[in-house]
Each structure stands twice: as structure tokens, then as C-alpha cells.
């Protein structure tokens, strides 16, 4: 069996070659994805079709020598599985129905997500043996912002005000979402994923006084449960833009790796490498622009972060849809040279 470079790095064993995968590598930046997307009337249908999940997950693996394949899905399948209305408007993003805590239920949770599990199994059967299959969920805070706000927003005042005005309701919502994340991650692991990532994409908007309660504690509960049940499964945590809370994050000892956004100072990432594997940091805009600035930033990450053999090359967030493929080609040439 070929060595899984990504798993080896996540386990702290170093690597034979620089491990690399990119967030949103399966998606709109690829022409084969855009062509395949035309077969579906809506995005949620595609996320719940096993053949689509498998095909889209494998597309970037066929094109590039990625060490990780993140399963094609969306973080909002959890509110959908709990019984909430979830749809996607073309060129605008998600739309969720009104939040009613009394109607959130686990009654059909497993059944609503069953096609994703079939998609995972199909993908695992076709994946090259040296590529690690990655599952994921959105963290409770980030999921709550969509469920309360109804869509993607530039600020989360309504979510924060809801939590302050109805603290018991918000606490209940966070408990439901934490349990849902645990349940869905366990389902993904049982279906074949070999590592998991928890996306807290909007963590930087959490008020400092609530960071421990809304970000750290749910993450701790999720990771503790997974490590007790699946000690061999690496866990990556991506609370985007919260470098100021690095001292709290490194206390999450059941998490193997911390992923960093583009704004994270190098010294902060190096500090985190004392306790955790690190990941990310390259600005997606730099990959999109390409040229000399891309080469300089790749060399910077190689010289400052990869020398420890405790860093996974990735972006600070998802690859931008209009990223030229030749820039990704150049990135791989730089990494593999």
C-alpha cells in the first residue's frame, strides 16, 4: 500500500513530499465541474446525489496530484437534515427558512444524509490509494449564523442580538448543532473518510466575551467525542481569522491540526506548530493573480513553515472561482520541484 502523505503529516510523522490540498478544490474553478453542474437544476440536489458527490470529489484528483480529497458537499446539509428548509439561489447563495427550534428534529437525520454516505463510499472505492479522503462539517457557531440570519451576511448583529435576547434558545440551538456535528462526522467516518475538518468560517465575528462558549467549547466537545471513538482519525480545525485566540486554540489537544487564514502572522503559525500540525495561510487572491507574487509567497511558506515538516500546504480559504488553471499548475510545479 502506498504511503498516505497527508495522514503521515497529520500524525506528526513528517512527510516524503510536501503535502498539499486546497479548500474548494472541487468546484467552480474547474471547467469539468461547470460542465457537470449543468446536469442539475439546483445545488442541493447535486449535494445529495451519490454519483455527483463521487464525480465532483474526484475531478481535482484526476487533474492534480493532491494528497487530500475533500468530499463534495455543503455545511448546510446539517440544518437540512434537521428538518429546516434549505435552498440555493444562483449567484446569490443559500436561503434558509425561518428558524423554529421546536421543529428541529433528529427523527429523519440519518435518512436525510444517507445519500452523502453512499457518495463517500463510492468515492473511497475509486480514490487512488495514496490520497486521503477528508470529511467535514460546519461548526455550530457558523451554522447558527445561517439558521438565524437565513443567508450569508457581511455582519452577524442579528445573530448576536438573538443570542443575547434569547440566551436559553441560543444555548439549545448550539447544543443541537454540536450533537448534529458529532453524529454526522461519525457517520462519515463509518462510511470511509480518513480525516475530518471542522469549518468555523465566521469565527472571527464572535465577540471576545463569548469566544470560549461559542467556539472553543463546542469544538472541544466534538473533538473529545471523536477521539474517544476514533482515536486514529485526524481532526483539523479551521476557525477562520481568530489568531488573537491562539492561546485558547492550542489547548484543544484532541485536535491534530489548526488551519490558518491568510491574515495569520507567520510567528503565530510557528507558535502553533509546537503543539499542533498547521495548515493553510496562502491568500486565494495571490493564487488567482499568479505570477511573481505567487512564487514569492510559496517560497516564503516553504522556508518559514514547511521546514518543520509540521505544515500542510493549503489556502487561507477556498480557491476563488475565477482562478486560472495555469496558476494552479504553477503552484504545483513550485511545490513539487
Which of the residues are catalytic?
24, 28, 37, 74, 146
Contact between residue 20 and residue 312 where contact means Cβ atoms under 8 Å apart: yes
Find how far residue 127's CA is from the centre of its chain: 19
What does each C-alpha distance from 313 to 92, 180, 282 come to in angstroms? 30, 29, 8
Which one, of 146, 33, 22, lies nearest residue 82 by Cα? 146
Residue 179's Cβ-count burial label (10 Å; 0-12, 13-18, 19+) is middle
List the strands of the sheet with 195-200, edge to edge.
68-70, 132-138, 195-200, 235-239, 257-260, 277-280, 311-312
Residues facing residue 195 across a β-bridge = 134
Tell me the three cell numbers of residue 24: 474548494
According to DSSP, the residues that pair with 171 across neighbouring strands are: none
Instruction: Supply the Cα-derived Rg of the chain in whole angstroms.
Output: 19
Classify strands 93-96 and 86-89 as parallel, antiparallel or unpaired.
antiparallel
CA distances from 331 to 20, 46, 225 (A): 10, 29, 37
**Partners of 94 in the beta sheet?**
88
d(CA 236, CA 248) in angstroms, rounded, equals 15
Coil, helix or strand at residue 84: coil
Grid coordinates given for 52: 455527483
- Residue 205 cell numbers, joined: 465575528
Instruction: Say if CB 23 and CB 314 are below 8 A apart.
Output: yes
Please give the Cα distance from 187 to 114 (Å, whole number). 9
Amino acid at each position: 500500500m502506498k504511503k498516505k502523505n497527508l495522514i503521515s503529516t497529520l500524525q506528526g510523522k513528517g512527510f516524503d513530499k510536501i503535502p498539499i490540498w486546497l479548500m474548494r478544490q472541487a468546484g467552480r474553478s474547474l471547467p469539468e465541474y461547470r460542465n457537470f453542474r449543468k446536469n442539475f437544476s439546483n445545488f442541493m440536489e447535486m449535494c445529495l446525489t451519490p454519483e455527483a458527490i463521487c464525480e465532483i470529489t474526484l475531478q481535482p484528483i484526476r487533474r492534480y496530484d493532491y494528497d487530500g480529497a475533500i468530499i463534495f458537499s455543503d455545511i448546510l446539509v446539517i440544518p437540512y437534515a434537521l428538518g429546516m428548509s434549505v435552498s440555493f439561489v444562483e449567484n446569490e447563495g443559500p436561503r434558509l427558512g425561518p428558524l423554529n427550534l421546536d421543529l428541529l428534529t433528529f427523527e429523519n437525520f440519518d435518512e436525510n444524509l444517507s445519500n452523502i454516505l453512499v457518495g463517500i463510499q463510492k468515492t473511497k472505492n475509486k480514490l487512488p490509494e495514496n490520497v486521503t479522503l477528508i470529511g467535514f462539517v460546519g461548526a455550530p457557531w457558523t451554522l447558527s449564523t445561517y439558521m438565524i440570519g437565513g443567508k450569508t451576511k457581511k455582519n452577524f448583529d442579528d445573530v448576536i442580538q438573538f443570542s443575547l435576547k434569547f440566551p436559553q434558545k441560543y444555548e439549545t440551538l448550539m447544543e443541537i448543532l454540536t450533537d448534529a456535528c458529532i453524529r454526522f462526522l461519525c457517520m462519515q467516518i463509518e462510511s470511509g473518510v480518513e480525516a475530518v475538518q471542522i469549518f468555523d468560517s465566521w469565527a472571527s465575528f464572535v465577540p471576545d466575551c463569548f469566544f470560549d462558549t461559542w467556539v472553543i467549547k463546542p469544538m472541544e466537545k466534538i473533538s473529545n467525542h471523536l477521539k474517544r471513538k476514533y482515536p486514529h482519525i485526524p481532526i483539523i480545525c479551521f476557525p477562520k481569522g481568530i489568531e488573537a485566540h491562539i492561546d485558547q486554540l492550542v489547548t484543544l489537544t484532541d485536535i491534530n491540526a489548526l488551519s490558518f487564514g491568510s491574515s495569520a502572522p507567520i510567528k503565530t503559525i510557528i507558535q502553533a506548530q509546537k503543539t499542533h500540525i498547521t495548515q493553510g495561510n496562502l491568500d486565494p487572491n495571490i493564487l488567482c493573480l499568479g505570477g511573481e507574487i505567487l512564487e514569492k509567497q510559496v517560497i516564503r511558506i516553504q522556508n518559514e513553515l514547511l521546514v518543520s515538516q509540521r505544515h500542510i500546504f493549503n489556502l487561507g480559504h477556498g480557491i476563488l472561482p475565477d482562478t486560472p488553471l495555469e496558476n494552479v499548475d504553477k503552484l504545483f510545479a513550485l511545490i513539487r520541484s
